[in-house]
């Protein structure tokens, strides 16, 4: 008789439940996989965070502890995984990937290790104070994984050409966007007042961190002139808030820029805007751009924003504009006109990024198809 196999146990691992794009993508993958084929469980190296509420109710959550340094989690993590005995381990973010690959030889049950790398290695090597060590770990540890998935071909190409790593076991998996979630979470605050009809609303969203380039956008805005009044809303929290406040005061932009803090449902605000701005210095595949397109809001982005050109190539012409300089960024902003509406605009999201398409591809990867 043929032995029947039950669903595979998949252990997803994150360093924390902080509000980052990589964390949200992994949670989406975990939540959406077919329960008839897979039993997802979750390990967080640090206990709490705003994204905990996004985890599906049927998923068992394990906590390792709030260690000051992630390396201190190594032994407790090994013990937890050996106790749970998963068939597959899925992790994201380089430092967590390294940790899982270090303990791989000591796993009592041979598990398939799938790591997700969402950031271009060039940026890590150029900006991390231990970039030389990260490079060594990339070259030694990543080849020992069973599969490396990345949301952008640009990331995979850098591993091949910059680090000279054999990428035969690297595969492209775009970030999934649940259009039902982005378009139905809350009712957008649409306005059709005379003031709104003559005002261009721009919006940014992300951690207030140098990576996101909000500082270079604000520094450029004194040179911005258009035929309409305009306003910029920035969603997110982070260590750069004080610096950004100072830049706004320096350039007398207090009445032009509003910070609204972090929200787990940014999509109504994005849907109400005329254009989403992404001035990032680096990205993997910017998920917030995909979410903006899903609610019908076009995007202007820097070409340093990771796989942004891959999104542009697959999008309807004119919905994603990619520029090389901040002056070009401002030039494109002048082309945006007020576009108030009483309802969601049609989605601009290409099919390749929709949740069902990405999840089906991911499940085939887990099954090694």
Residue-wise pLDDT for 121-150, tens only, equals 888 888 778 888 999 999 999 999 999 999
Q: What is the reported pLDDT for 38?
A: 96
Q: Where are the domains of the chain?
A: 8-176+354-366, 180-350
Domain 8-176+354-366 sits in CATH 1.20.1740.10: no
CATH of 180-350, one of 3.40.50.2000, 1.10.10.10, 3.30.70.2340, 2.60.40.1180: 3.40.50.2000
Number of neighbouring beta carbons within 10 Å of residue 71: 12
Whole-model pTM? 0.81
Handedness of CA 188, 17, 310, 356 (dihedral sign): negative
Dihedral-angle region of residue 48 (phi above 0 means left; psi in -120 to 50 means alpha; beta otherwise) = beta
Number of neighbouring beta carbons within 10 Å of residue 282: 20
Measure Cα distances from 238 to 20, 215, 243 in Å.
11, 13, 10
Beta strands 112-116 and 38-44, pairing class: unpaired
Q: What is the reported pLDDT for 86?
A: 96
Residues of the chain under the 70 pLDDT cut: 1-5, 19, 48, 66-68, 185-192, 369
Tell me how far apart the alpha carbons of residues 364 and 267 are, in angstroms, rounded to a whole number. 30
Q: What is the reported pLDDT for 1?
A: 38
Alpha helices in the chain (DSSP H): 21-32, 74-84, 94-103, 121-127, 131-141, 153-161, 179-184, 194-197, 214-220, 241-250, 267-272, 287-294, 308-314, 326-333, 355-366
Length of the chain: 369
Instruction: Tell me if domain 8-176+354-366 and domain 180-350 are identical in fold.
Output: yes
């Amino acid at each position: 008789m043929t032995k029947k196999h039950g669903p595979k146990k998949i252990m997803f691992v994150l360093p924390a439940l902080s509000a980052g794009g990589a964390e949200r993508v992994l949670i989406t993958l975990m939540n959406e996989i077919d329960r008839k084929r897979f039993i997802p469980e979750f390990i967080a190296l640090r206990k709490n965070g705003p994204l905990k509420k996004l985890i599906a109710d049927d998923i068992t959550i394990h906590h390792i502890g709030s260690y000051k340094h992630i390396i201190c989690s190594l032994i407790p993590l090994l013990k937890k995984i050996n106790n749970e005995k998963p068939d597959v381990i899925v992790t994201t973010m380089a430092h967590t990937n390294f940790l899982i690959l270090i303990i791989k030889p000591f796993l009592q049950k041979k598990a398939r290790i799938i790591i997700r790398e969402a950031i271009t290695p060039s940026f890590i090597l150029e900006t991390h104070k231990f970039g030389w060590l990260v490079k060594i770990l990339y070259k030694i540890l990543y080849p020992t994984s069973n599969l490396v998935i990345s949301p952008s071909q640009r990331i995979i190409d850098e591993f091949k050409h910059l680090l000279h790593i054999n990428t035969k076991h690297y595969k492209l998996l775009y970030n999934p966007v649940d259009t039902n979630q982005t378009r139905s979470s809350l009712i957008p605050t649409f306005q059709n007042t005379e003031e709104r009809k003559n005002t261009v609303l721009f919006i940014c969203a992300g951690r207030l961190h140098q990576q996101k380039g909000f500082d270079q956008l604000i520094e450029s805005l004194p040179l911005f002139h258009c035929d309409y009044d305009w306003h910029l809303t920035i969603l997110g929290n982070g260590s750069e808030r004080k610096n950004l406040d100072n830049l706004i005061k320096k350039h007398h932009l207090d009445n032009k820029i509003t910070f609204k803090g972090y929200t787990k449902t940014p999509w109504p605000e994005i849907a109400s805007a005329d254009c989403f701005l992404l001035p990032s210095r680096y990205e993997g595949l910017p998920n917030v751009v995909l979410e903006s397109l899903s609610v019908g809001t076009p995007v202007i982005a820097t070409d340093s924003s990771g796989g942004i050109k891959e999104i542009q190539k697959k999008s309807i012409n004119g919905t994603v504009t990619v520029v090389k300089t901040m002056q070009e960024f401002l030039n494109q902003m002048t082309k945006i006109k007020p576009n108030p509406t009483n309802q969601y605009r049609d989605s601009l999201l290409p099919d390749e990024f929709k949740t069902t398409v990405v999840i089906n591809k991911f499940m085939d990867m887990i099954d090694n198809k």
